[in-house]
Amino acid sequence: MFVRPLSFFILVSIINGILTKSVELTFELPDSAVECFYQEIEKNTSAALEYQVITGGQYDVDVKVEGPNKQILYQQQKMQYDSHQFTAQQTGVYKVCFSNEFSTFSHKLVYMELNVGPEEPLPGMGDHATVLTQLETSAEEIHSALNKIIDHQTHHRLREAQGRKRAEDLNERVFWWSMGETLAIVCVAFAQVMVLKNFFSDRPTLYNRM
């Protein structure tokens, strides 16, 4: 009997994770702008939307999900992050829009992930006629663990990017505050020198004239 090596199942698991029907991207949302994304979904297919504002302003955006019949399936205002699951009631193109129209000068950096349909099993596992072997069971567990690792890595990257941006903003504010304090100290020192200089000037006084 031919037994496939464990490395084959790990490779298949990685490829299957890459080829799943999922959209994951990070995009810039300018001020007073709206960005929409379109996805065709079959009837009775489940979908899950997850998003998070990484940088910009108060870290908030308006989000709306519309169906093919213009029906609003999900709508939130000034949200930093959230997730929403829904089932398509009809086949058609669904629209996900992110709005920054309420902001007049703050650009936003937004992360979005849209998963459509259930997670597909490993090739040859979905219609398995017999009981899974120990090797196949291990491959399934590795496949599930890899997906969880990818999710954790994504969220850690988002938190790291958000924390780094906040640290950079704080560093910039401290820099300009320090520059302002330095300028104020220089101005005060210059004023004190001028006042002391006037005290010791050689201008003639009424006593010297007499």
Domain boundaries, the chain: 22-117, 133-201
Span 125-132, mean pLDDT?
57
Give CA separation, 189 vs 11, 115, 178, in Å.
70, 63, 16
Question: pLDDT tens-digit profile of 138-188?
Answer: 777 787 788 778 777 777 777 777 777 778 888 888 999 999 999 999 999
Question: pLDDT tens-digit profile of 39-87?
Answer: 999 999 999 999 999 888 888 899 999 999 889 999 999 998 888 999 9
Contact 65, 84 (CB under 8 A): yes
Domain 22-117 annotated CATH 2.60.120.380:
yes
Contact 143, 16 (CB under 8 A): yes
